[in-house]
């Protein structure tokens, strides 16, 4: 009756679970590859068949495929004839990971009959594909000619979407008589620069100055960005007016 039916159903369930546990074999050892962002479609990342110790001929028979593991896109594919893992879609490190020091993508190799899963970790390396940029092309200052030597004027920072050595490493300005550049390292990382007055300004000699500011990164090849520092020299009223008599004599 119902008793035997229930027992038989339970036995079938136990048998099914046993078969499932035998057929489902999840491999805990991950396979990790490291390659640069922006690699061309079809570029070889590594050979998964060799790395997991599987004969290449079994890939097709076991319907091997790559699935995304928690990602919205599948960035890799598998060549069933060779066992190579290849780039399936453009990988933009900055778009995926921003300024994070590490950029890790997770994909999964799926094999059937029996079901077998291998997690593939892809460490995406940064390439120097972004140049330093200033928010504004021109940085403006109004400075009185009475400003004293050593006066400092903080400049806008440049920004670079790359990370590590590929981000901004140095600032410089073109040679000029009045100013030098002081570069300051920030406590949280990064750098900014200050314009330091080296020689007093004289509006009667020069009313405006234009100095090129350059930010450079540490990549290979090196990239740079520029902005123009525009200084307007304001009058300090340092020339007393000549009296009418003196002017009459002079003329």
Residue 154: domain span: 133-234
- Domain check: are 94 and 157 in the same one? no
What are the tens digits of pLDDT across the range 175-192?
999 999 999 998 888 889
Last residue of a domain, one of 106, 125, 144: 125
- Domain check: are 165 and 201 in the same one? yes
Residues 110-124 have a mean pLDDT of 93
Asked if residue 29 is part of any domain, the answer here is: yes
- Domain check: are 142 and 113 in the same one? no
Q: What is the CATH number of the domain that holds 60?
A: 2.60.40.60
pLDDT at 52 over 90: yes
pLDDT at 28 over 50: no
Predicted pLDDT at 127: 94
Asked if residue 11 is part of any domain, the answer here is: no
Asked if residue 198 is part of any domain, the answer here is: yes
How many domains in the chain? 2
pLDDT at 3 over 60: no
- Domain check: are 98 and 150 in the same one? no
pLDDT at 235 over 50: yes
Asked if residue 2 is part of any domain, the answer here is: no
Q: How far is CA 165 from the centre of its chain?
A: 10
Per-residue pLDDT band at 22 (split at 50, 70, 90): very low
- Domain check: are 140 and 227 in the same one? yes
Per-residue pLDDT band at 11 (split at 50, 70, 90): low
Last residue of a domain, one of 90, 125, 160: 125
What are the tens digits of pLDDT across the range 134-188?
999 999 999 999 999 999 999 999 999 999 999 999 999 999 999 999 999 988 8
Predicted pLDDT at 23: 44
Most confident of 6-20, 36-50, 68-82: 36-50
* 24-38, 134-148, 196-210: segment of lowest average pLDDT: 24-38
Asked if residue 3 is part of any domain, the answer here is: no
Question: How far apart, in whole angstroms, are the C-alpha atoms of residue 213 and residue 168?
Answer: 13
Last residue of a domain, one of 79, 100, 125: 125
| Torsion on CA atoms 52, 55, 57, 59, rounded to nearest 10 | -20
Mean pLDDT, the chain, as a whole number? Answer: 86
Strand blocks (E) in 16-136: 24-26, 31-36, 44-47, 65-68, 76-78, 84-87, 104-111, 115-125, 133-134
- Domain check: are 50 and 108 in the same one? yes
- Domain check: are 49 and 29 in the same one? yes
Asked if residue 250 is part of any domain, the answer here is: no
- Domain check: are 164 and 91 in the same one? no
- Domain check: are 197 and 112 in the same one? no
Two tokens, residue 177:
């008589």
- Domain check: are 111 and 199 in the same one? no
- Domain check: are 160 and 69 in the same one? no
CA dihedral over 143, 145, 151, 155, signed as positive or negative: positive
Which one has a higher pLDDT value, 198 or 20? Answer: 198
Asked if residue 15 is part of any domain, the answer here is: no
Asked if residue 181 is part of any domain, the answer here is: yes
- Domain check: are 108 and 181 in the same one? no
pTM: 0.72
């Amino acid at each position: 009756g119902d008793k035997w039916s229930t027992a038989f159903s339970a036995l079938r369930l136990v048998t099914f679970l046993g078969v499932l546990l035998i057929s489902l074999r999840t491999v805990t050892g991950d396979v990790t590859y490291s390659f640069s962002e922006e690699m061309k479609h079809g570029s070889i990342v590594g050979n998964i068949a060799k790395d997991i110790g599987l004969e290449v001929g079994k890939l097709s028979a076991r319907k091997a495929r790559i699935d995304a593991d928690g990602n919205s896109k599948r960035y890799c594919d598998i060549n069933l004839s060779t066992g190579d893992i290849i780039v399936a879609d453009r990988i933009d490190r900055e778009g995926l990971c921003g300024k994070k020091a590490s950029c890790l993508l997770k994909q999964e190799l799926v094999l059937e009959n029996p079901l077998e899963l291998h997690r593939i970790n892809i460490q995406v390396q940064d390439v120097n594909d972004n140049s330093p940029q200033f928010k504004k092309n021109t940085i403006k200052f109004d400075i009185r000619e009475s400003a004293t030597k050593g006066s400092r004027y903080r400049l806008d920072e440049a920004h670079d979407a790359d990370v590590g050595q590929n981000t901004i490493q140095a600032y410089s300005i073109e040679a000029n008589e009045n100013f030098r550049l002081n570069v300051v390292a920030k406590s949280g990382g990064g750098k900014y620069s200050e314009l330091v007055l080296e020689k007093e300004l004289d509006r009667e000699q020069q009313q405006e100055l234009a100095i090129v500011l350059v930010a450079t990164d540490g990549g290979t090849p090196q990239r740079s960005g520029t902005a123009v520092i525009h200084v307007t020299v304001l009058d300090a009223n340092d020339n007393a007016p000549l009296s009418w008599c003196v002017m009459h004599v002079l003329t």
